[in-house]
């Protein structure tokens, strides 16, 4: 995308999921990354995956309530390049009106709301991995979702 | 700070010795050329004594000249002129330090010091000199800015725990972390005091209990943290001992007739390490699929399609594409329209058509920015809405690559175990004891690691408890009117504490990372075309302050064992330069014999990189070190002088210096010339001067 | 001035910015307090003062601000 409309926005997440970011995201300062156990490179990747899960499962979006925190800055959504486009399209689909592209704040609210309802689903998968690795368990679950 | 000049009288070999330092920004290097035993290290000590005072020298160090007979008094004086950048411009200072000592006395007397600011209107003497000096050139930074090639090696050699400590100390001092730590302690104390006051005023038993718990936690947390730090250090040392013992074992194995099996085992282990690295890469590849475009396409397909429809409708309404203007404009440059009709302005119909097109352009221009944005999205969305969904195929591919690699890894493990078993059956005392040694270390290491994990959990738990109790206290206080004031103060204290704590953590991680990256850059530049380069991929500083080097396939190398002497020195100089640069402190880098053991490419690159990374660089070099770098020094050195020890005549010096005093002679000869004073005996000076160390 | 002072200060301010704005103007109050504490520590390096008391005063200054503005509609 030529420019990232989300650059000035915040990725806001319920405080309840803060520790999960620490568990599943590789890029934590001072720790060795293990993609097998931490399948996501950056906080935004984890957040985006939650959105995807929510969309795929057709869950109604709902914004985070209670104590929240900033999990990432919108700037981080600038890469990969297609991601702002995907989020914009999600907002258009949700709103039914393309003029929403002019309102990044509203688009971000939609994305955050999807992520908020996607997290329980995503975590349900991750936290039921038993003896499996997070990467394998999640990949299999996604595979199942996509072939459904 | 920039050094301008220095003069030393009666400082060991330096008597009446004057040096001018280059302050030219383009030629920021000063070279003091001197053979061994000609005062280089003395000059390094003398500069440090002048700037940092008596504590910069070992207590047994005698400053006065060796020529002074036992019992007689000698005087040592150092005079340094330097300048400091301040927000109000450059200020220039002159520092004089002096002491008188009796030859043969067991302890060195304290020196006295005077500092004056040099002003156009005359010099202005400065009171409380040491505190001013501390501002101009903090003593904490002495060992980083003033160093010699050998001492710098201690950052990567010796006991692992000690190396870490040195690296950590250097970084912490340079980043000013002790200041933050002091601030943290004071905020914590304020917090404790508020709690105590609140407790006194309230008289509530419950509050008292919570406070007692908090006090206990405040003691327990640092205590456990210290234990954890100590354990981590022990782990570092044990890992070191373990890898050494393992190496001894490998050597012992090689010695006997088990050489072949040992060789096989080593080869297998190598393959295993490579396989592990590949497995990791495969893991990463698969994990990336969970953030990739095909994942998004698959998961969000429905919504993407819906959005696509909305956009398509707009397109059908003619609102997309928004690229009509350029198309229309372009068409106006032609004589006919796309439809084949004439657009000739001289023709009546043509002129009418032109007017129509111009009208269309005007209309399109009126289309607002919004439309342009929507158009952009429309075009960009195609990548997401069109094309085949390839996630499944990619997943299958990544998964099988991982499985394959896992199998290889396990198979190699089985082979290694089998070879180990065969080896263990062969009786050999050397091997036996080496193996026992290694296994003992491994056992200790395992137990220490477990201990560290336990401590880590304890510390986390204590911190969590602390947070809960602090909250409880605030809640209790907030209930009573009197207590509210204290509750507010406690919140404030807690917030301030967190700010300082987080800053410390950030400084440590972020800044260490910055030094690490910078060191790597400088280091790779320095060893660019060295044969070692082929096996070295990158250098880094770990979060626990180890300087490490990676080889191919991310294999960890031991800098003290796996690097040659030149690369080891280059690495430590890169570290020092990175540290001084990242710190932002502007001060001279004074390095004694930095190029020892270096030749050819690496040596030249070290000089280039050091010159461009320092604000002011003072190099104390032997003629051997200069050899091969003359052209670079031509470009970067603003001042060059030569120091000669007259005692080297007649063995090493060509001409009689006319004195046998124990004091070095200084001449203006630069790195390529020589004179009556400094010309040395070996043919074709100074190229092949054989220095007697 | 030695050390990378601006760097330390900017990170401190960054952290202060990330702190909860308990009442209007609270973050600014924290920022001032942090800056004052660092200045005190710096002075204390060269001329020892009763810094513990002074830091205590700064902390209670922020506390007083917080207490005063709590429940006053901000």
User: Where do the domains of chain C lie?
Assistant: 5-69
* B462 interfaces chain C, CB cutoff of 8 Å: no
Provide CB contacts within 8 A for B316, sequence distance 6+.
none
CB contact under 8 A, A29 and B509: yes
CA distance B421 to B265: 11
Radius of gyration, CA atoms only, chain A: 15
In chain B, residues with a C-beta closer than 8 Å to the C-beta of A58 are 302
Phi-psi domain of B579 (left: phi exceeds 0; alpha: psi -120 through 50; beta: other): alpha
Question: ipTM score here?
Answer: 0.94
CA distance B263 to B245: 17
Q: What is the dihedral of CA B241, B245, B250, B256, to 10 degrees?
A: 160
Contact B261, B192 (CB under 8 A): no
Subunits touching A (CB < 8 Å, at least 3 pairs)?
Answer: B
Provide CB contacts within 8 A for B105, sequence distance 6+.
none
Whether C36 has a pLDDT exceeding 70, the answer reads yes
- Cα B172 to chain centroid, rounded: 11
What is the pLDDT at residue C5? 67
pLDDT tens profile B91-115: 899 999 999 999 888 888 999 999 9
Domains of chain B, start order: 2-24+57-144 (3.40.50.300), 510-667 (3.40.50.300)
In chain B, residues with a C-beta closer than 8 Å to the C-beta of C5 are 176
What is the pLDDT at residue A28? 56
Q: Which two tokens stand for residue B78?
A: 């150092």
In chain B, residues with a C-beta closer than 8 Å to the C-beta of C34 are 496, 499-500
Touching B: A residues 110-129, CB under 8 Å? none
Cα atoms found within 13 Å of the Cα of residue B110, Cβ hemisphere only: 2
CB contact under 8 A, B298 and A146: yes
Contact B171, B515 (CB under 8 A): yes
In order of B193, B472, B478, B490, C24, the CA distances from B483 in angstroms are 14, 13, 6, 10, 22
Partner residue opposite B488 with nearest CB, options C37, C45, C63 = C63
CA distance A27 to A33: 7
Partner residue opposite B383 with nearest CB, options A48, A82, A102 = A82
What is the pLDDT at residue B535? 77
Residue B538 has phi, psi (to 5 degrees) of -165, 160
Provide CB contacts within 8 A for A82, sequence distance 6+.
A1, B293, B296, B380, B383, B384
Average pLDDT over residues A113-135: 89
Strand locations in A25-131 (E): 68-73
What is the pLDDT at residue B518? 92
What is the pLDDT at residue B690? 42
* A32 interfaces chain B, CB cutoff of 8 Å: no
CA distance B391 to B401: 15
Cis, bond preceding A80 (omega within 30 deg of 0): yes
Q: Which residues make beta-bridge pairs with B288?
A: none
Contact B261, B423 (CB under 8 A): yes
Mean pLDDT, chain A, rounded, equals 88
Whether C73 has a pLDDT exceeding 50, the answer reads no
What is the pLDDT at residue C29? 94
Place A34 in a pLDDT band, splitting at 50, 70 and 90. Answer: confident
Q: For the purposes of burial, counting CB atoms within 10 Å of the CB of B352, is it exposed (0-12), middle (13-18) or buried (19 or more)?
A: exposed
CA distance B143 to B55: 12
CA distance B648 to B677: 11
CA distance C53 to C37: 11
| Run of H or E including B591 | strand B588-592
What's the length of chain B? 693
Residue ranges of domains in chain A: 10-147
What is the pLDDT at residue B427? 61
* Shortest Cα distance, chain C CAs vs residue B367, angstroms: 41
CB contact under 8 A, B583 and C46: no
Q: Which two tokens stand for residue B220?
A: 């327990």
What is the pLDDT at residue C46? 63
CB contact under 8 A, A92 and B510: no
The 3-state DSSP composition of chain A as helix, strand, coil percent (nearest 5) reads: 55, 10, 35
Contact B395, B289 (CB under 8 A): yes
CB contact under 8 A, B186 and C3: no
* B252 interfaces chain C, CB cutoff of 8 Å: no
Strand locations in B62-214 (E): 73-86, 89-102, 112-118, 124-126, 146-148
Query: How many CB pairs lie under 8 A apart between chains A and B?
Result: 132
Interface test with A, best of B300, B409, B504, B512 (most A CBs within 10 A): B300
- Which residues of chain B are under the pLDDT cut of 50? 684-693
What is the pLDDT at residue B592? 93
**Diameter over CA atoms, chain B:** 119
In chain B, residues with a C-beta closer than 8 Å to the C-beta of C10 are none
């Amino acid at each position: 995308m030529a420019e990232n409309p989300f650059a000035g926005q915040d990725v806001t997440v319920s405080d309840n999921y803060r520790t999960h970011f620490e568990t599943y995201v590789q890029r934590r300062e001072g720790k060795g990354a293990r993609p097998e156990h931490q399948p996501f490179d950056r906080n935004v990747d984890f957040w985006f995956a939650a959105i995807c899960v929510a969309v795929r499962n057709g869950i109604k979006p709902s914004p985070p309530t209670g104590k929240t925190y900033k999990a990432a800055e919108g700037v981080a959504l600038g890469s990969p390049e297609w991601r702002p486009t995907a989020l914009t399209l999600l907002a258009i689909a949700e709103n039914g009106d393309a003029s929403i592209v002019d309102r990044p704040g509203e688009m971000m609210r939609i994305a955050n709301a999807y992520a908020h309802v996607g997290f329980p689903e995503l975590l349900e998968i991750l936290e039921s991995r038993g003896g499996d690795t997070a990467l394998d368990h999640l990949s299999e679950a996604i595979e199942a979702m996509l072939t459904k | 700070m920039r050094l301008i000049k220095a003069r030393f009288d009666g400082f060991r070999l330096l008597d009446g010795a004057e040096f001018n330092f280059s302050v030219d920004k383009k030629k920021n290097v000063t070279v003091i050329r001197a053979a061994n035993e000609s005062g280089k290290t003395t000059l390094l000590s003398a500069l440090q004594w002048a700037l940092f005072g008596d504590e910069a020298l070992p207590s047994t160090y005698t400053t006065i000249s060796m020529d002074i007979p036992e019992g007689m008094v000698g005087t040592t004086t150092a005079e340094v002129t330097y300048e400091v950048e301040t927000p109000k411009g450059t200020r220039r200072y002159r520092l004089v330090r002096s002491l008188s000592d009796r030859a043969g006395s067991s302890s060195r007397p304290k020196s006295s010091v005077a500092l004056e600011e040099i002003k156009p209107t005359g010099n202005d003497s400065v009171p409380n000199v040491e505190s001013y000096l501390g501002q101009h050139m903090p003593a904490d930074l002495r060992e980083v800015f003033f160093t010699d090639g050998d001492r710098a090696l201690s950052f990567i050699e010796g006991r692992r725990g000690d190396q870490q400590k040195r690296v950590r100390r250097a970084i912490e001092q340079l980043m000013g972390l002790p200041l933050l730590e002091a601030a943290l302690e004071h905020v914590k104390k304020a917090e404790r005091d508020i709690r105590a006051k609140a407790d006194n005023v309230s008289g509530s038993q419950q509050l008292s209990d919570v406070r007692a718990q908090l006090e206990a936690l405040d003691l327990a947390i640092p205590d456990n943290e210290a234990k954890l730090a100590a354990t981590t250090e022990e782990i570092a040392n044990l890992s070191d001992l373990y890898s050494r013992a393992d190496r001894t074992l490998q050597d012992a194995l090689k010695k006997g007739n088990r050489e072949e099996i040992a060789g096989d085992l080593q080869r297998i282990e190598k393959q295993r390490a490579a396989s592990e690295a590949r497995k990791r890469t495969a893991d990463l590849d698969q994990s990336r699929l969970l953030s990739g475009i095909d994942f998004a396409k698959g998961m969000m397909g429905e919504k993407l399609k819906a959005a696509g429809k909305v956009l398509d409708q707009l397109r059908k309404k003619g609102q997309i594409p928004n690229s009509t203007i350029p198309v229309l404009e372009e068409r106006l440059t032609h004589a006919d329209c796309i439809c084949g009709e004439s657009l000739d302005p001289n023709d009546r119909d043509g002129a009418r058509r032109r007017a129509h097109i111009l009208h269309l352009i005007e209309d399109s221009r009126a289309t607002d920015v919004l439309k342009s944005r929507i158009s952009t999205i429309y075009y960009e969305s195609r990548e997401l809405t069109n094309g085949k969904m390839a996630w499944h195929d990619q997943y299958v591919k990544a998964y099988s690559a991982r499985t394959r690699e896992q199998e290889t890894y396990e198979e190699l493990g089985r082979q290694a175990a089998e070879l180990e078993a065969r080896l263990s059956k062969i009786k050999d005392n050397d091997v036996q004891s080496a193996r026992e040694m290694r296994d003992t270390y491994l056992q200790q290491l395992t137990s220490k690691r477990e201990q560290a994990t336990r401590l880590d959990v304890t510390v986390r738990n204590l911190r969590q408890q602390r947070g809960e109790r602090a909250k409880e206290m605030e809640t209790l206080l907030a209930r009573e009117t009197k207590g509210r004031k204290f509750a507010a103060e406690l919140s404030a204290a807690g917030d301030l504490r967190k700010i300082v704590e987080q800053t410390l953590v950030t400084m440590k991680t972020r800044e260490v990372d910055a030094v690490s990256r910078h060191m790597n850059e400088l280091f790779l530049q320095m060893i660019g075309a060295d044969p070692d380069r082929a096996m070295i991929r990158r250098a880094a500083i770990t979060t626990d302050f180890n300087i490490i080097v990676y080889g191919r396939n991310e294999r960890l190398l031991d800098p003290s064992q796996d690097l040659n002497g030149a690369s080891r020195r280059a690495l430590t100089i890169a570290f020092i330069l990175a540290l001084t640069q990242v710190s932002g402190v502007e001060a001279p880098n004074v390095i004694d014999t930095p190029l020892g053991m270096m030749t050819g490419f690496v040596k030249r690159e070290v000089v280039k990189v050091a010159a461009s990374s320092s604000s002011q660089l003072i190099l104390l070099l032997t003629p051997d070190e200069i050899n091969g770098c003359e052209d670079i020094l031509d470009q970067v050195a603003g001042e060059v002088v030569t120091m000669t020890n007259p005692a080297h005549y007649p063995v090493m010096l060509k001409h009689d210096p006319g004195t046998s005093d124990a004091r070095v002679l200084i001449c203006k000869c630069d790195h390529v010339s020589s004179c009556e004073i400094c010309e040395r005996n070996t043919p074709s000076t100074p190229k092949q001067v054989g220095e007697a160390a | 001035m030695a050390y990378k002072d601006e760097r330390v200060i900017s990170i401190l301010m960054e952290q202060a910015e990330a702190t909860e704005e308990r009442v209007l103007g609270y973050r600014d109050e924290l920022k001032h307090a942090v800056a004052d504490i660092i200045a005190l520590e710096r002075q204390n390096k060269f001329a020892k003062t009763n810094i513990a008391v002074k830091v205590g005063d700064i902390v209670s200054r922020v506390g007083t601000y917080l207490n005063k503005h709590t429940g006053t509609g901000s």
